[in-house]
């Protein structure tokens, strides 16, 4: 009997997801239905496949949405996180399993008792970060605990970056995921974490000047700034007594110091709109944030304001973005500074069709075993094929696809609104990911604990 997998939303992260399903469709007797607001944007390699149906779906049309879900054997929602709840409520009512790659919202978590009562699996946070980070971390943590060890340190870092062969700008960065999330990164409260038993807080205006460094053999040195709330993972990972718990976002060394210029200027602010933003030149945009001078140029005012010289690499990075171009215009109406900055950055940082992205993940596990402190470092590097089949799409889409099939085939059965932190889930998924070239290299290293030399002031 043919089983129907409904995929709602077909954005940038779905290329490998759909490819996986369609390659398995004959052997597994699958028919893939893809519902999207803009089905015309879905590549022909998917829409023309005999085991695939593409159709227009407005998520806000209750009748359309419920009809599509009712006809499915299982549902994958690749919508923005805030919209999952509509799909989840329908899946609960119609008794369908649900998979998302997003963080579990309070609204979704509130459905847990009813989801369990109906023996349904609502699997979330099963993409890259969150997702592969959960599974790879819990595999090592469980192994340490099974051997009698006690966790005392856990640090985890992930970065969506440009591959070395496509790294063609001074920022060593191009957009591989939602550009808006990059521009707004770190906002919404101080970053919170624990180091050596002490709670630490970094306000947004200082976030990009407090970085930790790490080396990955064959790929060089990276830096990481703290994610907003590392403490959320204490309960999920069972790390209530750990002395150090820190999660961060990875970039190439120098990115964060340069990004701090935008923070200082106020260009990442999303809390107000610029009335005359439409048609404003890049140069005029920069001048918005600088004091008036009857004689000094925009360039000179900016260097004085930021206290940087012409031979500073950061100045070269600003020039590279064409920030002082009076001919380039921003077409956005009543846009916030953050939206205008995003437009300018996309002009320079968009991957070209044949360019490749790169995903880097790095874990540090500190533990005590038989009275001795030990440490395991693990890293993963995945390189994309091109702008469509990106490393980001691979590391987000494949775990989602794999867990969908595991649930559909009755191999993952524990009900509830959950994330992939149990052996039932992470063991088969990590095994299959490894067969697809997504795997971690582990190294036993001397236990370092908190290293103040690794943090820039």
Cα end-to-end distance, the chain, whole Å: 62
* Within-domain flag for 399: no
148-152, 235-239, 316-320, 326-330: lowest mean pLDDT where?
A: 235-239
Least confident interval from 12-16, 143-147, 183-187, 222-226:
12-16
Please give the residue that has the higher pLDDT: either 189 or 383: 383
Q: Is residue 23 part of a domain?
A: yes
In this structure, the number of other CB atoms found within 10 A of the CB of residue 232 comes to 14
The answer to the question of residue 350 being in a domain is: no
Number of independent structural domains in the chain: 2
Q: What is the DSSP letter of 72?
A: -
CA torsion, points 410, 390, 105, 247, in degrees to nearest 10? Answer: 110
Q: Give the pLDDT of residue 229.
A: 86
Per the listing, tokens 């009748």 go with: 63
Its pTM stands at: 0.90
Rounded CA-CA distance 260/256 in Å is 6
Q: How far apart are the C-alpha atoms of 446 and 435, rounded to whole Å?
A: 30
Which of 314, 335, 356 finishes a domain? 335
Please report the pLDDT score of residue 10 as a whole number: 87
Helical residues (DSSP H) of 238-336, grouped into ranges: 255-265, 282-287, 298-306, 313-320
Residue 452, pLDDT above cutoff 70: no
The boundaries of the domain holding residue 284 are 273-335
Question: Six-digit token pair at 51?
Answer: 């085991």
Per-residue model confidence (pLDDT) at position 457: 33
Q: What is the pLDDT of residue 456?
A: 41
Give me the pLDDT at residue 317, please. 97
Count of C-beta atoms within a 10 Å radius of residue 248: 23
What is the spatial order of strands in the sheet that 97-100 belongs to? 52-56, 30-36, 3-8, 74-77, 97-100, 121-123, 416-418
On whether residue 321 sits in a domain, the answer given is yes
Task: Note the maximum CA span of the chain.
Answer: 77
**Number of C-beta neighbours around residue 196 at 10 A:** 12
Domain boundary among 317, 335, 353: 335
Domain boundary among 76, 108, 124: 124
pLDDT of residue 455: 45
Q: Residue 98 in contact with residue 77, Cβ under 8 Å?
A: yes
Assess if residue 430 is contained within a domain: no
pLDDT in tens, 333-375: 999 999 999 999 999 999 999 999 999 999 999 999 999 999 9
pLDDT in tens, 281-328: 999 999 999 999 999 999 999 999 999 999 999 999 999 999 999 999
Q: What is the pLDDT of residue 451?
A: 55
Of the listed ranges 37-46, 126-135, 428-437, the one predicted with least confidence? 37-46
Q: What length is written for the chain?
A: 457
Taking residues 240-262, report their average pLDDT: 95
Specify if 48 maps to a domain.
yes
Q: Please give the structure tokens belonging to residue 300.
A: 């000179």
Residue 151 has a pLDDT of 97
List the single range of 6-15, 148-157, 319-328 with lowest mean pLDDT: 6-15
Phi, psi (rounded to 5 degrees) for 309? -95, 170
Asked, for residue 300, whether it belongs to a domain, the answer is yes
The reported pLDDT for the residue numbered 374 is 95
Residue 228's pLDDT is 84
Q: What is the mean pLDDT of the chain?
A: 93
Residue pair 122/84 in contact by the 8 Å Cβ criterion: no
Split at pLDDT 50, 70, 90, the class of 188 is confident
pLDDT digits (tens, 9 = 90+) for 37-65: 998 888 888 989 999 999 999 999 999 99
pLDDT at 1: 86
Question: Do the domain assignments include residue 223?
Answer: no
CATH number of domain containing 53: 3.40.50.720
Spatial separation of the C-alpha atoms in residues 453 and 437, rounded to whole Å = 34
């Amino acid at each position: 009997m043919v089983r129907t997998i409904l995929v709602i939303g077909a954005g940038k992260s779905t290329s490998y997801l759909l490819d996986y399903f369609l390659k398995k469709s004959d052997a597994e007797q699958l028919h893939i239905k893809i519902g999207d607001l803009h089905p015309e944007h879905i590549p022909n390699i998917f829409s023309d496949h005999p085991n695939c149906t593409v159709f227009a779906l407005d998520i806000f049309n209750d009748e359309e949405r419920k009809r599509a879900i009712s006809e499915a054997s299982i549902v994958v929602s690749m919508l923005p996180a805030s919209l999952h709840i509509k799909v989840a409520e329908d899946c609960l009512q119609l008794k369908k399993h649900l998979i998302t790659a997003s963080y579990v919202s309070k609204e979704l978590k509130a459905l847990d008792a009813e989801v369990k009562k109906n023996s349904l699996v609502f699997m979330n946070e099963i993409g890259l970060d969150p997702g592969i980070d959960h599974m790879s971390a819990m595999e090592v943590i469980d192994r340490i605990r099974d051997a009698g060890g006690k966790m005392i340190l856990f640090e985890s870092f992930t970065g969506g970056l440009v591959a070395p062969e496509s790294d063609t700008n001074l920022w060593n960065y191009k957009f591989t995921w939602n550009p808006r999330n990059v521009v707004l990164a770190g906002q919404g409260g101080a970053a919170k974490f624990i180091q050596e038993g002490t709670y630490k807080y970094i306000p947004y205006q200082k976030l990009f000047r407090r970085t930790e460094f790490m080396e990955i053999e064959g790929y060089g040195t990276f830096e990481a700034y703290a994610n907003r709330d590392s403490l959320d993972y204490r309960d999920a990972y069972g790390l209530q007594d750990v002395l150090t718990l820190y999660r961060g976002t990875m970039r190439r060394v120098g990115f964060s110091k340069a990004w701090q210029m935008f923070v200082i200027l106020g260009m990442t602010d999303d809390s107000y709109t610029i009335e005359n933003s439409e048609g404003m030149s890049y140069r005029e945009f920069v001048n918005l944030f600088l004091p008036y001078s009857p004689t000094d140029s925009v360039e000179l005012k900016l260097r004085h304001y930021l206290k940087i010289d012409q031979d500073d690499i950061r100045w070269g990075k600003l020039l590279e973005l064409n920030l002082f171009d009076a001919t380039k215009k921003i077409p956005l109406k009543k846009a916030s500074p953050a939206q205008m900055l995003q437009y300018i950055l996309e002009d320079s940082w968009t991957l070209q069709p044949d360019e490749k992205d790169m995903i880097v993940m790095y874990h540090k596990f500190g533990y005590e075993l038989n009275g001795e402190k030990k440490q395991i470092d693990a890293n993963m590097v995945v390189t994309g094929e091109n702008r469509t089949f990106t490393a980001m799409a691979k590391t987000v889409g494949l775990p989602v696809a794999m867990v969908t099939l595991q649930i559909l085939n009755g191999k993952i059965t524990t009900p509830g609104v959950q994330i992939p932190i149990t052996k039932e889930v992470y063991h088969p998924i990590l095994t299959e990911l490894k067969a697809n070239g997504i795997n971690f290299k582990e190294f036993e290293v001397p236990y370092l604990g908190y290293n103040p030399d690794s943090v820039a002031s």
